[in-house]
Structure 1
């Protein structure tokens, strides 16, 4: 069934309709676990499910597999995201043919982001320039077979010249044959309503589906709104700032905020909502429960009779919650949610903006000085870090300065913590009444010459483990088991299992390595290729190593830093 028909039925019946968005996991085990999660969430009877399409076809196989599984195995109507980025017409034909063969009848037509290694979006040879070209082509080739959705931006597309210009581009996509509009995330209901009114005044009559994203963690929320340039009311920012150290409270706040926003929109006659799940299920379930769409505690006996019974409640809760707090790029690589919005900023900007932030380095000493200025708070961001250092860094700030002055350019760090109260303002996290622990670790870029001497020192301390990789993929480690997981942050709380939000393992280190060196390239590409700055950044990128070092004796708080400075 076409999604537009379902959306119109919900509007006519004045009945709330919801749908889920997923993204292709970064690891094979993450894909397997997402399939399990899809099966559970399909039993909540969403109107449809969708899966994103990575820039430059980077996730094509996994995207198609996820969409086909939802459509064929679980019988849920599926919306396939499809972009123009790096896609020629022949490839687009292949994708559309595969979608039709899998029974997928709904396409979200997008221009898409620039593929990896490219500063700006450019069309493929024999390809399309804009989403409207893709809409027209699908209509020309398939007539009315596919239902086509397009993206809408309540706060304006980042590339638009003005709000009016953006609206006219949206109207042109509808006139070309699009059936409905899916919006980017927003947190200001008034902004959305004003934008929707402008759409209607321009003659856009198709269904408009608000995109909702429950807040995952405080850091990820800040990263998302910076990346999308999203307006957030001051009251929300202030309320979040007061609870930012408690991941559980932040997630619950995100649930309550989503429910409140949906209820406001329902009063305005809006009934269709698209939830970006970030491949997690607990927050989405809580939202639906509070809106009365799911029973407070779903068990096998409360499910509709035609659906497969669920596992016992205790097993279901574990399946839902085991990866709720991935906490950055060193979450569990087995999680379907691993890696989303947790890696580098990917700050694509003009040369003027890059030089304003990071200048024109021409020597390694210039790069060292830039890292020093960031640690001191005089530079607001780095290509690998889009926000200032957190308060826990205060205890090791001078040490980090000394380490960077030795030529170790740090992009991640944490001090050792041995049983601090979970409400500690510097290192605390999680619910009150618990205790938190951390192993000290450092992550940094370093030259081949310095790496050799450093690893010799690491081998002398039996408590030290490390991973090191360069851009070419050469790998060094003293961890013998390739599947070993090292918990470097954990917490003990009343009435809960031990929570381990931060794991360092080969899988997530390798995934981050890919992103980290790509960010070197993106920084380099913001300068003229022949300039001394671009040449320096290219040389460093091609010769340096990314290293992660952990000292596993968390009771010796200075051991790792003494090793680095010895």
Structure 2
């Protein structure tokens, strides 16, 4: 789903598993897509093995997840049955399911229904299928998704018939490769991909040229590569000239109640899932500027998605076994937007100042900018230079002394078990990103402030300790990482003069962590204490006798 997100779809489909845990998985995937990934989803819902209570539970879950699209289907018979049968208390036809959804939820859901330009397995009567389609539309369907097909001319003929009977809602053609053309080269993976891409792209161009079709619906079968190849051939992929448009500079959650969320602390810039999970119980955003970081409103650190994922063995294989500060610094990914401050971040890490988060200064670029742009059209966006690092105490002291000579710079810093240190003039939020757009107030979607930084501090150091605990307690890697987490400072620095992009990096010039290359020795294992010789038992009356 995350890979598909980068292709910029209007929505993704999540197919329905009738009954049992498979149906529950469908609901869970809708929740993940909507709330954590910010992807509009279309949940398939069938009548197969679904009584009224199950249908209502599925719809309720989709509604709470913020889902606004349902594809209502009768469904196929279960695998253990040859003939489709209505479930007790359930729905006999897709049109009945459409009517129930519309009557229960009003206009909350857009409701899709299936179209069959080449007939369906149990019915090849086109006139009867069109009549059924019209009934589904009359019950409240708002778009049509067709079965996969291979004949563009026949499909367009069928679209003409759909329009003739008074159906005007959008039709989304189901796109799949042309298997007959692929058959001769089926054992050549590269040839299959190239022929499939060309044939599907040509099919899509023919459909779009008809002026009746404005959307394409790809049956991806969970494979992003084939679809992206077709989109590339059509020149539909996001690019510098056609950027993936974002309403805000961070991935917006589409969960119920979160669609109007417009402010987040910058600290979770690269941990979107974690932030959503930690604030999933909030009833409004930003909920009074986050309140006390010790509040349950921030969620538990043990919540799935917040702690370090993977087993200890997997993480050791992924990141190796660092034995020096240099080893750790080489592992930390760069977080720059584009290449603007890449060299500066590399230089900091090479000197042992480990970068956690960053953003470059931006002085009024168009909201359509391919890297920094966000928000409505014809606007301008701004950013203050921001940097977050892990540094040892000696370097931290030097940084603070240098900051004192820069009135435009503010900071927050803390150790794992220490108290917050800052020169910020107040506890209030400091906007580090903002946008100016026609007909709107200034939007300030990314901030730095003390309360949320303390909540982030707990998470950041917890992740570090999780990493340390992937190693044996007597290993140098464990000693190195655990020592850094216990003693180093987490510090964020903001240059409030957004017209000066290099000030923070100039501030840190020449600072270097001592002992960068020095391997951390394994902890010395204490030898076991020799057994104590038992003391002779002294009768109590002797303790009370006077000395002789």
Q: How would you bin the TM-score normalised by the shorter chain?
A: 0.3 to 0.5
TM-score (norm 1): 0.46
Q: TM-score, normalization: structure 2?
A: 0.47
Larger radius of gyration: 2
